[in-house]
Amino acid sequence: MSTPSIAQRVDDFNAGFEAQIGDRLATVFSDEQSELRAAGVPAGARGADDTAPDADLLTAAGETVTFSSVREGSVTVVVFYRGAWCPYCNITLRTYQLELLPALEERGAQLVAISPQTPDGTAQSQTNGALGFTVLSDPGNVLADRFGIVTEPSAHAQEAHTELGFAVSDSNADATARVPFPSVYVIDRAGRIRFADVHVDYTTRTEVAAIVRAVDGLGND
């Protein structure tokens, strides 16, 4: 039996989630996703052949590290995610833990996940997903801004979040609702972006096979 894709796992989740929250709130989120798709990827988003930017990040223990030092000259797959509150992010990170991480380790590459949430939120992501790869906080979305991939939930979506009992700003280190578009970058040892996949619709994510193909395409670079 084949392993379900992230898209299939999301479809299974959505069926139960939409039934739980009801048609009205489901429509709010569906409308938001449609608006995001219509707007498309920001014109300034970093892409293939661009140099990866740098910024200070925080570990789950609150220690400051630079993005460049984390990469340490290794081929690095970087996953920008919204936070531990986002079920689509959790589905994706768990899938990457189970299926992507072993493939990257075989190839001598590393996996790093980054969100704007507090270090406590980072620790929650690690614990909830039993994640064995590096997970870091990007306070204020400084690094995500430099990648050109920052957005914010619509006002109606934020109202729906509040109705469901949480607010994105409560999870973020800078107490705003700004989040990165879910994105995957493959960065070579020299710090050059070789693969970029920015998802403006946060319910869709980069599948494992696409990332592995991108890493394999680097050869000995």
Question: Which fold would CATH assign to domain 6-216?
Answer: Glutaredoxin (3.40.30)
CA quadruple 41, 44, 46, 50: dihedral, nearest 10 = 140
Give DSSP secondary structure letters for 163-212.
Answer: HTT--HHHHBTTSS--EEPPEEEEE-TTSBEEEEEE-SSTT----HHHHH
pLDDT at 129: 81
**pLDDT value, residue 73:** 87
pLDDT of residue 132: 95
Residue 195 confidence (pLDDT): 98
Q: Where are the domains of the chain?
A: 6-216
pTM across the whole model? 0.95
Which residue in 171, 166, 200, 168 sits closest to 183, CA to CA? 200
Q: Within 10 A of 15 (CB to CB), how many other CB atoms are there? A: 10
CA distances from 183 to 106, 159, 203, 204, 207 (A): 23, 25, 12, 10, 11
Are 206 and 37 contacting, i.e. CB atoms less than 8 angstroms apart?
A: no
Output the tens digit of pLDDT for each of the chain's 221 residues.
Answer: 578 999 999 999 999 999 999 999 999 999 999 999 999 999 999 999 999 999 999 999 999 999 999 998 899 999 999 999 999 999 999 999 999 999 999 999 999 999 999 999 999 889 888 999 999 999 999 999 999 999 999 999 999 999 999 899 999 999 999 999 999 999 999 999 999 999 999 999 999 999 999 999 997 66
Asked if residues 182 and 80 have their Cβ atoms less than 8 Å apart, the reply is yes
Contact 180, 144 (CB under 8 A): yes
d(CA 11, CA 126): 24
